[in-house]
Amino acid sequence: MTTDPMTTDPMTTDPITTDPRRPPQGRRWLTGLIEQRLLPPDEVATLCVGSTARGWATAASDLDVYVVSETASAHRGARVPVPLVPDHVRTVESELEGRRCEVTYWTAAQVDQMLAKVGRDRLDRPDTSLKPLTDAEELFLERLGSGIVLTGAQQVAAWRAAFTAGAYRTFLAARAVAESEGKVETSRALLSAGDVESAVLVARLAHAHAVDAVLDHHGVHGTRTPKWQARRVRDAGLEVLTFEDYWTVQSMRDLVPGQEPRWVGTVLARCEGLTLAVDLGREP
């Protein structure tokens, strides 16, 4: 390190305070990263991401950090392939304040490439897939929006603006709608074939996808981390998707033994109601 990111951020001399959601430990985490030489000299931005950034962490949760630099990291760590240039990222495991910490190193060029993959211009291209991003890329962009900025506030703000102007939410909502529709069809077929138990389980999956579609449509992302779906539904507070209705289906608490086909029918109708609440040509 030749510079101290705590004092050289272009936005302010105290960049950690620029994020109103920052936890009080933010400065200490940054200091810990610097002391462990985990920030490269050409670092552009550092974000605390994942459950900690969203305020959902438990005592057992990892601390996830994304570091973005101008060039590929020279740190030793696991090499994770990505369909970008450079063609990989590195992850380094460490410990901060007694918590396991995983630092993932990206480059600024990789961020730009990921944003370009979900640009609005991609929506009309015939060769565009419903899944233009790999899971790791999708997770990065989701976390870009929800992460707590430790350094590089100005650059992160620019990326976030590009993210918002792009079609990420439309891609994700369209994919979730398609996945829900496919499961609805499968569940109906299973019911017709007399496999009631499988029809029930697939109907529940269809509902989970339909819920993702509504959440993604409203910019509440997190498909890659399904364990947090209930949190996302509760936090979103959408009229079209109340937590009570959501939890009634996902917990299957209204499934009466012996009346599975009826339950499946109700859930599948609810799935369609949710997916048709997602206007793929118009963002809310």
Nearer to another protein, 78 or 276 (CB): 276
Nearer to another protein, 36 or 198 (CB): 198
Nearer to another protein, 236 or 277 (CB): 277
Q: Which two tokens stand for residue 280?
A: 């793929």
Region of 71 on the Ramachandran plot (φ > 0 left; ψ -120 to 50 alpha; else beta): beta
C-alpha distances out from residue 208 to 40, 130, 136, 225, 277, Å: 40, 18, 21, 12, 15
Q: Starting at the earlier edge strand, list the strands of the sheet with 99-107.
A: 78-81, 88-96, 99-107, 63-69, 43-49, 148-151
Q: Which two tokens stand for residue 143?
A: 């976390």
Q: How far is the CB of 133 from another protein (least distance, A)?
A: 21
Residue 151 pairs with which residues in a beta bridge?
Answer: 46
HSE, side-chain direction, 13 A CA sphere, residue 37: 5
Q: How far is the CB of 276 from another protein (least distance, A)?
A: 5
Q: How far is the CB of 176 from another protein (least distance, A)?
A: 12
From CA 247, how far away is CA 122, in angstroms rounded?
A: 35
Nearer to another protein, 107 or 275 (CB): 275
- Can you give the binding site for another protein, defined by CB under 8 A? 177-178, 181, 185, 189, 272, 275-282
Residue 94 pairs with which residues in a beta bridge?
Answer: 101
From CA 216, how far away is CA 267, in angstroms rounded?
A: 20
Q: How far is the CB of 226 from another protein (least distance, A)?
A: 23
Q: How far is the CB of 177 from another protein (least distance, A)?
A: 7
Nearer to another protein, 55 or 261 (CB): 261
Q: How far is the CB of 53 from another protein (least distance, A)?
A: 32
Nearer to another protein, 115 or 206 (CB): 206
HSE, side-chain direction, 13 A CA sphere, residue 43: 31
Nearer to another protein, 109 or 240 (CB): 240
Q: How far is the CB of 61 from another protein (least distance, A)?
A: 37
From CA 87, how far away is CA 252, in angstroms rounded?
A: 43
User: Which residues lie below 8 Å from residue 195, measured CB to CB, with a gap of 6+?
Assistant: none
